[in-house]
Structure 1
């Protein structure tokens, strides 16, 4: 997994973890904004954002990616 964190702060770190063939896990104090500029309520300190576009609860992951065929790794 790959992670990107915010080097600007010590106690309020935001970390984004890229899960292979899965969601983006976002941890920390973030504000999600929809396409119209409205905040999206998050109910947990860690959220999973869908990357497969198959979720029924966009923008959050619902596990649909597990039902899809895994991407072939390039060798």
Structure 2
């Protein structure tokens, strides 16, 4: 069984590693060029959205620490 790992990086992107696809809101698939690892922008500054281009450096701060969500209502 294939798996996907998503890592929230401190002060930067979200790394997606494994078997996955990325689609837009209409269901169109982004071509990944054979990649099994990409970094997704979460600062909004990338000129290559949805992918990270490093524009966040010095402009985005978030100390990523895991936590549990409350139970679903």
Task: Give the TM-score, by structure 1 length.
Answer: 0.73
Unpaired segments ≥5 residues, structure 1 = 1-8
In the TM superposition, what is the alpha-carbon distance from 1:47 to its structure 2 partner? Answer: 0.3
Q: Which residue of 1 aligns with 2:43?
A: 52
How far apart, CA to CA, are the structure 1 residues paired with 2:40 and 2:8? 10
Q: Which has the higher strand share?
A: 1
Count of residue pairs brought into register by the alignment? 62
- Structure 1's consecutive aligned runs of 4 or more residues displaced over 6 angstroms after TM superposition are none
Q: 2:30 aligns with which of 40, 47, 54?
A: 40
Aligned-residue CA RMSD in angstroms?
1.7
Q: Which has the higher contact order (CA 8 A, sep 6+)?
A: 2
1:28 aligns with 2:49: no
Unpaired segments ≥5 residues, structure 2 = 64-73
Task: Give the TM-score, by structure 2 length.
Answer: 0.75
In the TM superposition, what is the alpha-carbon distance from 1:45 to its structure 2 partner? Answer: 1.3
